[in-house]
Amino acid sequence: MLGPGGLTAATRRAGAEPLVTGRARPYDPSTLRRGLEEMVTAGAVAVVERAVEEQVERAVGPAKHAALAHPDRFDQPYYTKAPAHAGPIGALNNKRLAAVYVGVTTVRPDGGPVLVYHLSWHKPTAPLSDALEDLHASPSRHAWLTAYLRRHTWDRGGNGRRLLRWAHAQQIPYLTMANGWVYLSSQRAPLAQTLERLPVFVRRDLRVGHSLGAPLDQGPRVVIFPAHPAQGIACVRGLRYRTDGVLVGNEIVQIDAVYKDRWGGVENPIKALVAVGLRLNRDRRLVLSTSRGTDGKIQRLQERDDALGAEVAALTHEAPSRRVFSKIESRVRRQEELRDRVAALQAEPLTKKVRPATGRELLCKYLLLLLYNGLALLRARSAIATVRMLTPAKVRDLLWGRHAFVDVELGKVTLWVDPVTEARERRQPEELLRLFNDAHPRLNGAKVQLHLAQHRGTDTS
């Protein structure tokens, strides 16, 4: 799973598959695909997905409102000659792109490593709100996230009024950044000061749902923070951070650093996972579907229809009069117009294709997340900072991707791994070997022991 060329290429390159299967040669790719299909049919996707969630929940432990979540997304492109819905991904010239937006939510336990908690599959150009709604769609997942996480931090793509109102109604503590900026001189009554003695302002976010009588440090609010604090008094502009979470300690005067923690909390892990195959296309089936833009239009029209229905229901409880009948008639007529527009959108012919979420694709991705989390938890036990920061690709280069001599005995498998040639990197594979040996790995019931082979040209006599 750590090979960028796929599972088959990785096993052939490492030559380790016969140890697991007992066969003299690796399986054919078609055999692997059939095996994956059988596991998907048996419900393996839900089993592995729940295993990943339990992996994170055990790492967070019983401490409530201590961990941090970082939802984000990445694109998985697939080039095709067929007409397809394309996302705005780079300079593609005249090539068509059937992309998929994959939502990824990471969780950082208090004092622990970053772990991946959830993955979702969306159409091209899908907004971040789709990934957040999928994350909280499960009642059990939503209950755990709201009970054990102190804050969700996502990028400025999720600062719309509808999404923030939904998050507030779901009691999801969030931190995001608003678009644009304001002049610091336009604000009055600062709440605090930065280390550079620049003002920090806090305002109630009335657009989301903060009431005027509620305390200023609770509920939805906007924190106006200097855009460039290092410039001192030369900084005249401020950025607006929108939050509905608890800011503890000095977080309010360091809110720019608190927000930028999402780079190491989700963006870097996504890059590390993409480097070892998370973006691979294992199933390239395309199906006809509506675009995400059409879905959004239909959703907005239905929301307006529901709002008019609520107004009609409220008017029916008023005393009958000509004015009330006129209002009801007007709203019913507008409802009929909205429903006609929805029916027209739904009747449009499907001319473009999208990639559906297939079981084989999701199973391989969740298996990779399971391995990524296990490796992160193992590296977190090390006292060496450089080892704790290693990516899966670097672990493969230092240890698991290197040639090894295998000694198979009864109940024991010993691997003599070729050492790295760079003297400055020798400490890291030695520490990795210690971590894996302390974890007591087993292969088909046999104990696995790792050793570094002797450097060529080294005399140990």
Residues 270 and 295 in one domain: no
Q: Is 210 a domain residue?
A: yes
Burial call 50-77: b when 16+ CB within 10 Å, e when fewer = eebbebbbebbeeeeebbbbbbbbbbbb
**pLDDT tens digit string along 183-237?**
999 999 998 888 888 999 999 888 888 766 667 778 899 999 999 998 988 999 9
Is pLDDT above 80 for 59?
yes
Residues 294 and 436 in one domain: no
Residue 255's domain is classified under what CATH number?
Answer: 3.90.350.10
Residues 188 and 302 in one domain: no
Query: What's residue 419's pLDDT?
Result: 87
Residues 314 and 426 in one domain: no
Residues 161 and 264 in one domain: yes
Residues 209 and 319 in one domain: no
Q: Is residue 164 classed as helix, strand or coil in its secondary structure?
A: helix
Residues 304 and 395 in one domain: no
Q: Which structural domain range is residue 29 located in? A: 1-34
Measured CA to CA, the distance from residue 400 to residue 439 in angstroms comes to 15
Measured CA to CA, the distance from residue 194 to residue 175 in angstroms comes to 19
Q: Is 281 a domain residue?
A: no
**pLDDT tens digit string along 141-158?**
999 999 999 999 999 888
Residues 331 and 445 in one domain: no
β-pair partners for 68? 108, 151
| Token output for 215 | 């305390």
Question: pLDDT band at residue 401, thresholds of 50, 70 and 90?
Answer: confident
Q: Is residue 76 classed as helix, strand or coil in its secondary structure?
A: strand
Residues 226 and 299 in one domain: no
Question: Higher-confidence residue: 425 or 54?
Answer: 54
Global confidence as pTM: 0.86
HSE-CB at 55 with a 13 A cutoff on CA atoms is 26
Q: Is 299 a domain residue?
A: yes
Residues 222 and 91 in one domain: yes
Is pLDDT above 70 for 93?
no
* CA dihedral (380, 384, 388, 393) positive or negative: negative
Could you give the residue ranges of the DSSP H alpha helices within 263-391? Answer: 268-274, 292-315, 322-347, 359-379, 385-388
By the 8 A CB rule, do 67 and 109 touch? yes
Residue 405's domain is classified under what CATH number?
Answer: 3.30.70
| Token output for 52 | 């990943």
Other C-beta atoms closer than 10 Å to the C-beta of 96 total: 16
Quote the number of domains for the chain: 4
Residues 307 and 414 in one domain: no
Residues 240 and 222 in one domain: yes
